Chain A
Amino acid sequence: MCNPRRVRVRATRQLAQAWEHEIRRTVRRSGAAVGEARVREPLGSSVGAPTLAALESVLDATPGWEHHENDDTYRHDIDGGMVVYYPATRELEIVATVTDQVEVSADASARVGGDLVGAVEAEGVGTYYDDNWGGITPEDAERAAQAAAQEALHAATREREERERAQAEQREGGAVESQAEERARAALAAATVARAEQLRADAAARLTAIGIQGRNLFNQALATAYRDAILAFARARHAEGINCTENDGIVDIEFELQV
Chain B
Amino acid sequence: MRVRVRFRYNAETGEVEAFVVEDVGGTRHGRDHDAVHDAVTSDVARIIEQNALIEEVPQGQMPAPPRRIQRPADEATAERPAQRLDE
- Chain A: residues with CB nearer than 8 A to chain B? 44-51, 215-216, 218-220, 222-223, 226, 229-230, 233-234, 239, 241, 245, 248-259
Contact = CB atoms under 8 A, between A and B. Distances in A.
B78 to A, nearest CB: 14
Majority SS at the chain B contact face: mixed
Given A219-B11, A222-B11, A234-B5, A257 B40 contact: yes
Contacts of A257: 2-3, 5, 40
Interface of B: 1-14, 16, 24-25, 36, 39-40, 44-52, 65-67
B47 A222 contact: no
A45 to B, nearest CB: 6
Contacts of B66: 245, 252-254
Nearest to B66: A252
Contact of B4 (A222, A230, A255): A255
Contact of B11 (A46, A216, A230): A216
Contact of B50 (A48, A251, A254): A48
A220 B14 CA distance: 8
Contact of A259 (B3, B10, B16): B3
Nearest to A223: B11
15 contacts: A47-B50, A48-B45, A48-B47, A48-B52, A215-B14, A219-B13, A226-B48, A230-B7, A245-B67, A250-B11, A250-B12, A253-B6, A253-B7, A254-B4, A259-B36
B46 A49 contact: yes
Given A233-B44, A256-B3, A257-B40, A250 B9 contact: yes
Contacts of A215: 14
Given A45-B50, A47-B49, A254 B9 contact: no
Contacts of A258: 1-2, 25
A59 to B, nearest CB: 14
A241 to B, nearest CB: 8
A218 B12 CA distance: 10
A219 B8 CA distance: 13
Contacts of B45: 48
A219 B49 CA distance: 15
Contacts of B5: 230, 234, 239, 253-257
B1 A230 contact: no
